[in-house]
Amino acid sequence: MNQTRAALAEDRFASWPRLPARLALLAFALLLIASALVPITVGKQDIVTKDFVENLAGTEVPGAERPRDDDLALYDTVIERIGKGENYYTVAAEEHRRSDYPVTPGWAVRPPTLAYLAMWLGPVGQMVAAIVLMLAVLKAWWDRLAEEAGDPRTRRIGLALLFFGASLGLNRYYFVLHELWAGMLIALAFGLHRPGRKWGAALAVTALALAIREHVFPFVLLLAAMAAWRRDWKETAAWGLLAAAFVALIMVHHHYTALQVLPSDRPSPEWLQMRGLSGWLSNVALSSNLRFFPHWIAGPLIVLALLGWAGWRTAAGAFGTLLYLGYGLAFMLAGRPDNFYWGAVVAPVMFLGLAFAPRALASLWRGAKSA
């Protein structure tokens, strides 16, 4: 009886009346159909998820095999050169020009944090760090799910889905990709955070993620906004100070980047692309293990995961819903097709929402049929 009562308390749609439930189901059905129809591509390279699967199965697909990605090779060279004592900003500018990547504006050049960490750790250290980080993510969410998931079976399914998302963090091919580490650190911070009572460790982890990639900034702003909504001014101030420190440091980064700019350097193409639903689905699918699925499966799974988060009536569910809606909207508006890897910032934990999707659908269906 207590377990049933707890499950109902955690089900946002359990008591929805008929009209809102029907409207929600209609909106969900339309989005689900659209997500199955929208193609998921990687831009100019025109590599779709199907090609990856066929190559892994041993079937050659012309043009699908690719060497080391140009941007990853660029980071490899930068790490190698700073390891020999060269200045990061000088090296980054030279390698950007050599690879025909823009140097301006400052956002086009990554902060130096990950390059130095990779240099200090070396290949073996990076693998050890990736394993430790993934285990920490799983442990943090195992504990949080114990508090907020209620049903032990849902907890186990949720952790399995989390492993599906977070296991990409063990792929050595992407160890120099900033979004990979930033996304895993966000996953850890999200799992460690307890609104109003336990957020110090989450703050420290988020600070490291923010130092690696600027795309973590919306995560910080949402945590600050949620703390302010709860009128927890101490936590609000902590996240606000982190945001202010980031702004100050990124201005310093832009200053040193600007010193390297030559009159001949071309600016970066516009990031505001208005790619719509395809932008959101492509970024998440191609920067996660969903890249092995055809688009008509990958797209609906992303939508179902978001529905699961929305139906999970807990602090984690509310925050996750706003987080993934916010980044989803951002990916619809900003980012070129070849920036699909931005999705790795949010992908590791997103699929945990699938554990709650069946309950959300069932509750909406019951509400839609109610008198």
- 81-95 per-position pLDDT tens digit: 999 999 999 999 999
Is the confidence at residue 119, as pLDDT, over 70?
yes
Residue 49's pLDDT band, with cuts at 50, 70 and 90, is very low
Burial of 73 (0-12, 13-18, 19+ CB in 10 A): middle
Residue 8 located in a structural domain: no
Question: Among 247, 268, 289, where does a domain finish?
Answer: 268
Which residues span the domain enclosing 154?
69-268
62 and 77 share a domain?
A: no
Question: Among 204, 235, 268, where does a domain finish?
Answer: 268
Query: CA-CA distances (angstroms) from residue 10 to 5, 15, 51, 207, 315?
Result: 9, 11, 40, 31, 10
- What is the mean predicted confidence (pLDDT) over 119-145? 96
Q: Please give the backbone phi and psi of residue 68, each rounded to the nearest 5 degrees, phi first.
A: -55, 125
Mean pLDDT of the chain: 88
Residue 8's pLDDT band, with cuts at 50, 70 and 90, is low
Contact 179, 351 (CB under 8 A): no
57 and 82 share a domain?
A: no
365 and 230 share a domain?
A: no
Residue 56's pLDDT band, with cuts at 50, 70 and 90, is very low
158 and 117 share a domain?
A: yes
What is the share, in percent, of the chain residues with pLDDT greater than 90? 71
Residue 371's pLDDT band, with cuts at 50, 70 and 90, is low
Q: For the segment 197-235, what is each residue's pLDDT rounded down to a tens digit? A: 889 999 999 999 999 999 999 999 999 999 999 999 999
306 and 241 share a domain?
A: no
